[in-house]
């Protein structure tokens, strides 16, 4: 558990080399961070199950108040995805199709972002699945315990 929290903090610090980050909350496997200049806030977690070796996959939800953007979902995959392969996000019994390229995947639009965030708030586990460039399966699995707290902390910090 402590190792996971340290990794989350490292991801938060590395996410923006040009701006200082401050921790807002750590809950379960999730952390919430904000840039000191207030330009962005985000909730972030690493998968508890992944075949990643040197890569650092993560799930995040971000807010950018100056751009009037919020609740945007982003996934960094454990390996580059195969061109043309669908990226599926499964949260408990619900399935969402994501857009992706390389090692990144996003919700296709703001409506899907909102539906995914709502499912994350009440969910237990989520899985991101696709095919890797070499044809093997990518499956990054996240626990959602603590996600709602981290999401709230990030959203509140960027609403001020």
Instruction: Characterize 77-100 residue by residue with b for buried, 16 or more Cβ atoms within 10 angstroms of its Cβ, and e for exposed.
Output: bbbbbeeebebebbbeeeebebeb
Domains and CATH numbers, the chain: 2-157 (2.60.40.1880)
* H or E stretch covering 11: helix 2-14
Share of the chain above pLDDT 90, in %: 75
Structure tokens at 157: 């910090």
Residue 156 to residue 160: CA distance in whole angstroms:
7
- Residues 6 and 93: their CA atoms lie apart, in Å, by 31
Distance (Å, rounded) from C-alpha 82 to C-alpha 23?
35
The enclosing H or E element of 106 equals strand 104-106
Each residue of 58-68: pLDDT tens digit? 999 999 999 99
What's phi and psi for 24, nearest 5 deg? -105, -40
Give pLDDT tens digits for 63-118.
Answer: 999 999 999 999 999 999 999 999 999 999 999 999 998 999 999 999 999 999 99
């Amino acid at each position: 558990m402590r190792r996971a929290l340290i990794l989350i903090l490292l991801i938060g610090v590395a996410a923006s080399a040009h701006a200082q980050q401050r921790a807002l909350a750590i809950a379960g496997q999730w952390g919430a961070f904000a840039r000191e200049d207030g330009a962005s806030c985000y909730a972030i977690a690493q998968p508890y199950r992944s075949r990643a070796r040197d890569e650092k996959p993560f799930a995040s939800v971000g807010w950018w108040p100056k751009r009037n953007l919020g609740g945007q979902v982003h996934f960094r995959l454990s390996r580059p995805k195969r061109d043309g392969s669908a990226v599926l996000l499964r949260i408990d019994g619900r399935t969402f199709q994501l857009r992706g390229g390389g090692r990144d995947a996003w919700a296709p639009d703001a409506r899907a972002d909102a539906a995914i965030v709502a499912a994350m708030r009440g969910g237990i586990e989520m899985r991101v699945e696709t095919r890797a460039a070499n044809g093997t399966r990518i499956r990054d699995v996240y626990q959602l315990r603590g996600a709602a707290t981290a999401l709230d902390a990030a959203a509140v910090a960027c609403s001020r």
